[in-house]
Amino acid sequence: MTSTSIFTPEGMYRFAGKLAVPCLVSAAIVALIAFYLGFFVAPVDVTQGNSYRILYIHVASAWMAMLLYVLMAIFCILGLVTEKKLWPMIAASLAPTGALMAFLALWTGSLWGRPTWGAYWVWDARLTSALILFFFYLGYLALQNAIPDWRRADKACSVIGIVGVINVPIVYFSVQWWNTLHQGASLTSSGSSIHPIMLTALLVMVAAFWLYTFGATFARLRSIILEREKGEEWAQELALKGEL
């Protein structure tokens, strides 16, 4: 067994294969711990009642949606600059999970907004910029599916990936830059404005979302590598040996 750099499709295929399932299993365990902390240890909120418990998944999915877009943009840039095969594959493997996170942030947000603000949706700067983030993901995915030649698809998608990243700081800082209905950040570099146990539950849930994202992305990356490398000797050899 020769060792290959993980920064090649073959090396990454093996590396991701070792991590995908353990990440997903630990995501489930960590999510159960977060659920226990958030629903059985953390007390009810004085002003919002139990509706505040949406916070754990809302904040986790919103952070993931923003972070994954930034990661995706970094791999888009790397792909354009270095012409290495692996980077655009990683960008493409992040996009669907990022889109899912953006959707979940919007969905959980609207179910939290209804009891808190009286409306599922308002055209406020935070919500609108988050919706635009979701559309950038959808644009990336639509383009990826529309262009059969993946080399050309990667180039075109990179443009969306890189242009759209401008929107991420707009989403994040929208609550400071504009007078929004959406509340400001509860967690900043100078501290937290929420109860310590709520904060703990939130951070554990964020860890669960990270693990899930790693697991799902590694699993997707493996399929993308097989799809794109099916003409390569290493992949065919693995397939014939039944060691995929």
Partner 1 sequence: MDQWGSFSDFISMGGYGRYVWGAYGMVIFCFICELVSLSRRRQRAAKELLLEARAHQAEEDL
8 A C-beta contact, residue 227 and residue 35? no
Task: Report the distance separating Cα 130 and Cα 117, nearest Å.
Answer: 18
Per CB under 8 A, the list member of 6, 24, 170, 187 interacting with partner 1 is 24
Least distance between partner 1 and beta carbon 64 (Å): 11
Asked if 212 touches partner 1 (CB under 8 A), the answer is: yes
* CB-nearer residue toward partner 1: 51 or 128: 51
| String of DSSP letters for 107-142 | HHHHHHHHHHHS-S----HHHHHHHHHHHHHHHHHH
One-letter amino acid for residue 46 of the chain: V
> Given the rule CB under 8 A, which of 3-11, 147-155, 169-177, 234-242 is the region that contacts partner 1?
234-242
Q: Which tokens is 39 given?
A: 């629903």
Asked if 220 touches partner 1 (CB under 8 A), the answer is: yes
Residues 62-81 that bind partner 1 (CB under 8 A): none
224 closest CA partner among 167, 160, 106, 141: 141
With contacts defined by CB under 8 A, how many residues of the chain interact with partner 1?
Answer: 41
Burial class (CB in 10 A: 0-12, 13-18, 19+), 183: exposed
Per CB under 8 A, the list member of 23, 73, 104, 125 interacting with partner 1 is 104
Q: Site residues (CB under 8 A) for partner 1? A: 24, 39-41, 43-44, 49-51, 53-54, 57-58, 61, 96-97, 100, 103-104, 107-108, 111-112, 114-115, 212, 216, 219-220, 222-223, 226-227, 230-231, 235-237, 239-240, 244
